[in-house]
Amino acid sequence: MLNNKVILLTGGTEGIGFECAKAYEKAGAMIGIISNSAESIQQASLQLNAKNVHYIKADVANAAEVEQAVQETISKFGKIDIVHNNAGIANPSKALHETNDDEWERLFAVNVKGIYHTTRFALNELKNNKGNILNTSSLVGDIGQEIHAAYSATKGAINALTKSMALDYAPIGIRVNAVAPAGVWTPMLRNWSTQQPNPELIAAYLDGIHVLGYCPEGDVVADACLFMVSDMARFITGCILPVTGGAELGYRKNLYKVNSEKAVTNIG
């Protein structure tokens, strides 16, 4: 599906991003992967074909580092056809008034401004190659989330940004879409689960909020991403694709309580 395509993938060494990297590489793509973690780059490099993958240690919130990463990818593979903006952070899990300035700024710098940086520096390549952009959003960008206001706001911003970008770039042949998961078992979510007052109940809670009855692994999102960046989705743009197991249809947030006042709703 992706033979001879070159993908710039941010946050591609862990969780959903790593599952996407595996799916893209299997489908024939060459991938420039941006990660800010040397350790996760090392771990990922043990599992992916080194011939087809180029790792770049960079922070998507830093314009100069993203510009360099774009140039490195072009130098390595000759072009960029697709940008998948997957890098994101979720901390802190707090109400708005409890979120401090640094936490707010970092969330928006990584989750939203990172998209600005990759688009700014890769746009000419995408224009030349009639490429496309995929952003990783979340169901909470649409329905909100308790005690996670700033994170939810970044995902809502990504949804609006995706649609605006789709309008702006359609005339030059660039599609722009997003995927919006609900709960997905990633290292970040597993770590979060262990920190809850009753971690033994979290798995049942996460299974329960999905109408299909289970919280998936990242491969289900990767399969949807593979379709969206491929030519099979050539007439789809401005779409926020839910990959949620139907969670938005029957959002049962009363299945598990942290305490008498707050429900655990850490999804997406």
pLDDT, tens digit, for every residue of 221-266? 999 999 999 999 999 999 999 999 999 886 555 444 443 334 444 4
> Is there a catalytic annotation at residue 24?
no
| pLDDT value, residue 213 | 87
Categorize the per-residue pLDDT at 193 as very low, low, confident or very high, splitting at 50, 70 and 90: low
- Is it true that the peptide bond before 92 is cis, omega within 30 degrees of 0? yes
Catalytic-labelled residue, pool 24, 55, 116, 151: 151
pLDDT digits (tens, 9 = 90+) for 96-126: 999 999 999 999 999 999 999 999 999 999 9
* Domains observed in the chain: 6-181+217-243 (3.40.50.720)
pLDDT digits (tens, 9 = 90+) for 163-190: 999 999 999 999 999 999 998 888 766 7
| pLDDT value, residue 50 | 79
Residues 85 and 118: beta-carbon distance below 8 Å: yes
Which amino acid does the sequence have at 203? A
| pLDDT value, residue 101 | 97
Q: Output the average pLDDT for the chain.
A: 90
What are the C-alpha distances in Å from 248 to residues 23, 101, 135, 187, 201?
26, 31, 19, 23, 21
| pLDDT value, residue 258 | 41
| pLDDT value, residue 206 | 82
| pLDDT value, residue 148 | 85
Residues 267 and 244: beta-carbon distance below 8 Å: no
Percent of the chain with pLDDT over 70: 89
Alpha-carbon 81 to chain mean position: 18
CA angle (8, 14, 19) in 5-degree steps: 70
Separation between Cα atoms, residue 194 and residue 83, nearest integer Å: 33
Categorize the per-residue pLDDT at 207 as very low, low, confident or very high, splitting at 50, 70 and 90: confident
The answer, yes or no, to whether residue 2 has pLDDT greater than 60, is yes
The answer, yes or no, to whether residue 204 has pLDDT greater than 90, is no
Separation between Cα atoms, residue 86 and residue 11, nearest integer Å: 5
Tokens of 25: 């590489």
Residues 140 and 268: beta-carbon distance below 8 Å: yes
pLDDT digits (tens, 9 = 90+) for 63-76: 999 999 999 999 99
| pLDDT value, residue 257 | 45
Categorize the per-residue pLDDT at 195 as very low, low, confident or very high, splitting at 50, 70 and 90: low
Question: DSSP letter string over 121-140?
Answer: HHHHHHHHHT-EEEEE--TH
Provide the 8-state DSSP code for 93. -
Which amino acid does the sequence have at 121? F
What are the C-alpha distances in Å from 1 to residues 21, 80, 213, 241?
14, 16, 30, 19
Separation between Cα atoms, residue 213 and residue 83, nearest integer Å: 32
What are the C-alpha distances in Å from 205 to residues 33, 34, 200, 218?
33, 33, 10, 18
What are the C-alpha distances in Å from 79 to residues 122, 166, 237?
10, 21, 22
Categorize the per-residue pLDDT at 152 as very low, low, confident or very high, splitting at 50, 70 and 90: very high
The answer, yes or no, to whether residue 44 has pLDDT greater than 70, is yes
Among the listed ranges 38-42, 92-96, 117-121, 140-144, which one has the minimum average pLDDT value?
92-96
| pLDDT value, residue 250 | 67
Q: For residue 139, which of 191, 216, 69 has the smallest C-alpha distance?
A: 216
pTM: 0.91
| pLDDT value, residue 86 | 98
The answer, yes or no, to whether residue 157 has pLDDT greater than 50, is yes
Separation between Cα atoms, residue 194 and residue 113, nearest integer Å: 30
